[in-house]
Amino acid sequence: TISMIVINEEGHVVAGTSTNGARNKIPGRVGDSPIPGAGAYADSEVGAAVATGDGDVMMRFLPSLLAVEAMRAGLDPEAAGQQAIGRIAKYYPTFSGGIVVVTKDGRYGAACHGMEEFPYSVADRTVSDGDVRVLTVKC
């Protein structure tokens, strides 16, 4: 899955996903990626979050919505992501997944579970032209 957040100069926030899902799935199965609030959620008043991982589990908790709402309540992006991922890990300690969270003004963070580390990519005004920064967060 690629899950992506885009914010333009005017603060218009959008988010989305594209995926071919999980390997060996039962035909007809769909994961979290096309489900609003699960694979992605965006609100220009707050920011956005996008998730990736074991979609059967993640879609039960709407982690992207949870993270955006946590930011609305005052958490920074990393803490919001940790809270959303932590909610899932409490019930599914062996699940694997990650989340990227961005505020409407361009502050970002990530959180993950069940992997050693989770990489994510960022391009913004602070990176020189044609460059993308790859960051990793330890799970």
Partner 1 sequence: NGGLPLVATTWRFTNATLRAYQSLTVGEFDPIEALVEGCSVCEREQCDGTVGFGGSPDENGETTLDAMLMDGKTMDIGAVAALRDVKHAAEVAKYVLRNTKHTLLVGSQATEFAVMMGFKKESLQTDASRGMWSAWKNNHCQPNFWKNVIPSPSMSCGPYEPVSANTIHHNADSSLDNPTDRSSFEFGQYNHD
Binding positions for partner 1, 51-110, rule CB under 8 A? 51-58, 91-98, 100, 102, 105-108
Coil/strand/helix, residue 51: strand
1 is catalytic: yes
How many chain residues touch partner 1 (CB under 8 A)?
80
Pick the closer one to partner 1 by CB: 58 or 70. 58
Coil/strand/helix, residue 67: helix
Judged by CB under 8 A, which of 23, 74, 128, 138 binds partner 1?
Answer: 23
Cα of first residue to Cα of last residue in the chain, in angstroms, is 19
Question: Taking a C-beta distance cutoff of 8 angstroms, is the pair 49, 41 a contact?
Answer: yes
User: Can you name the residues that pair with 53 across neighbouring β-strands?
Assistant: 97
Tokens found for residue 128: 């020189």
Does the protein bind partner 1 through residue 41 (CB under 8 A)? Answer: yes
Judged by CB under 8 A, which of 25, 60, 73, 86 binds partner 1?
Answer: 25
Pick the closer one to partner 1 by CB: 25 or 86. 25
Pick the closer one to partner 1 by CB: 4 or 79. 4
φ, ψ of residue 98 to 5 degrees: the values are -145, 160
**C-alpha closest to that of 37 among 46, 19, 49, 29:** 49
Does the protein bind partner 1 through residue 126 (CB under 8 A)? Answer: yes
Active site positions, annotated: 1
